[in-house]
Structure formats: C-alpha cells, structure tokens
Amino acid sequence: MVIADRLAGFVNDVYSNVDHLSSGYVVLAVLFFSFQIYCDFSGYSDIAIGAARTMGIRLMTNFDRPYSAGNIRAFWARWHISLTSWFRDYVYIPLGGNRLGKQRKYFNVVLVFLLSGLWHGAGWNFVVWGALHALLMVIWMSYSGRQEKKASGGSIGRGFAVVGTFLLVSLGWVFFRCPDIGQALHIISHLIGHSGNPGFERNITKTTVALGMVFISFLLLVERWTTPGMDKLQGRFWPDVGFCAVVPGSILLFGVFGSQPFIYFQF
C-alpha cells in the first residue's frame, strides 16, 4: 500500500498534465501505474487473506508474481487468480473450453476477456482493454509451441519474454486507467517524441520519482529472492522482530496519509 500510494501521486500528476510533459515522464507514469495497481490490489488481497486467517479461514492466493510471467497466458495464471478461475470455471469451460476445435476455443477466449472487461466497468475503454488481452492471448495460443521453444533457449530469451509481456500489459493498463478511449489514445500518442514544458516539468517532484524507483526495485528483489523461502522464515524470532520493526517504520516514514482509496473499491 505504501508503494502504491507513493506511485499514485506521480501517476495522477502526469495523467492530468500530459500535454505539458515530455515523453519520458509519460512512459514513466505508464510503468509506475502498472506497479501501482499491482501493489494496490495485491495489498488489498493480502489484507483480506491475513484478516481471514486470524479467524481460521484460509482464502486462496490471488496474486503470484504476475510481472515475472514470460507470456500473456502465464500472466493471467498469476494475476487476480480468483476472478480468472471464476471465468474459467463458469464461462470458458461451460462454453466448451478447448474441446470444440481451435476456432471455437479462440471465440471462447475472446468472449471471456470481453466479459472480463465489462465486469470492471460499462465503458468502451474496458472493452478495449479486454479485447487487447484477448488478442494477445489468441496470438500466444496460435504460436505457443514456437514461443515455448524460444523460452527454453536460455535466461536471455526468458528475460526478453518477461520484459515484453510486462510492456504489453502496461500498455493495456492505459485503457484501464483512463476514463475513456479518447484520453487513453491521447496518453499513448505522447509516449514517443513529445516535448514538454521545462518550466512545468520542474514542478514535478523528483523525490517521488526516485522513491518510486527504489520501492519498485526493492519489491522486485523481495519477490525474486524471498517468496519461495518465506515459509522457512515464518515463526523464527529475528526475522519476525525485523519484519515487525521494518513494516511500521516504512509506513511512518514513507506512507501517504490521506484519502487515497483502493483502486479496486470502485469494482
């Protein structure tokens, strides 16, 4: 939540003043929003999971390092798992899933993603967001064998796949973030080759940008190195003490105190 709320201020400033800012700021805001919505919603989910566990109820994991995915199918296997599994079990499979031939499978995929877009909001921007992911999924399914062969070629190919998937997902988040298609296309048109107003750009808080980059780097390191071994650390004295000291301290030092609601409250 600390990371999400820190990134939100910069993202809101850039999206509200895109005409006055150069492409570098716009690109950074688009990438920051990808981590803002992830930290916001995964944090929201973790609070629900933790609160339920105090009452003896175990809820399913809702996020599993989605930005480490090397293709769009892997991304959706890791992102908002509860909703994805619901659409799979109650829409995709009843429609026939992949049992009725390739063309029907593609149709089912497209329909599921369009419905997923409409589930988030009755707006064309959400339809476009769903359609974009449907297109990416169909393309991946058409060439999955070739992609898997490339992905098994080494860590360099895997790294390019992860970065490419993240950039495509980030581009889709522009339609999710903007209230309509027109503004989303306006943001996208400023991603390359747009010059800003130097006087206005000086008002952008560089500290927020630097903190955002530090927080994102820290998040990626934590997810990369500690997630598989977290169960081994739980219940040990010094890791527990360190955790209980670092988290409240981080909130007090870096938290944004005010009325910054969860993004997913609107859904």
> How far, rounded to the nearest angstrom, does the alpha carbon of residue 103 sit from its chain's CA centroid?
29
Closest CA to 105 of 93, 119, 118: 93
For CA atoms 72, 163, 81, 61, the dihedral sign is positive
The model's pTM is 0.87
Q: Can you give the pLDDT at residue 62? A: 94
Spans of all domains in the chain: 2-266
Whole-angstrom Cα distance, residue 180 to residue 170?
17
Active-site residue, 120 included:
yes
The active-site residue out of 120, 186, 190, 194 is 120
Q: How many C-beta atoms surround the C-beta of residue 159 within 10 A?
A: 11
* Contact between 174 and 31 (Cβ < 8 Å): no
Low-confidence ranges of the chain (pLDDT < 50): 149, 151-152
Q: What is the model's pLDDT at position 221?
A: 82
Contact call for residues 190 and 23 (beta carbons, < 8 A): yes
Beta carbons within 8 Å of 267's beta carbon, 6+ residues apart: 119, 120, 121
pLDDT of residue 114: 97
Contact between 66 and 133 (Cβ < 8 Å): no
Q: Which long-range contacts (CB under 8 A, 24 or more apart) does 183-192 make?
A: 184/125, 184/128, 186/18, 187/15, 187/18, 187/26, 187/30, 190/18, 190/19, 190/21, 190/23, 190/26, 191/23, 191/26, 191/27, 191/30, 192/23
Q: Which of 26, 81, 67 is nearest to 164 (CA)?
A: 67
CA R_g for the chain: 20
pLDDT at 257: 83
Residue 267, SS3 per DSSP: coil
Please tell me the distance from the alpha carbon of residue 203 to that of residue 156, in angstroms, as a whole number.
39
* 206-225 vs 2-16: helix crossing angle, rounded to 10: 140
Angle at 192 between CA 191 and CA 193, to 5 degrees: 130
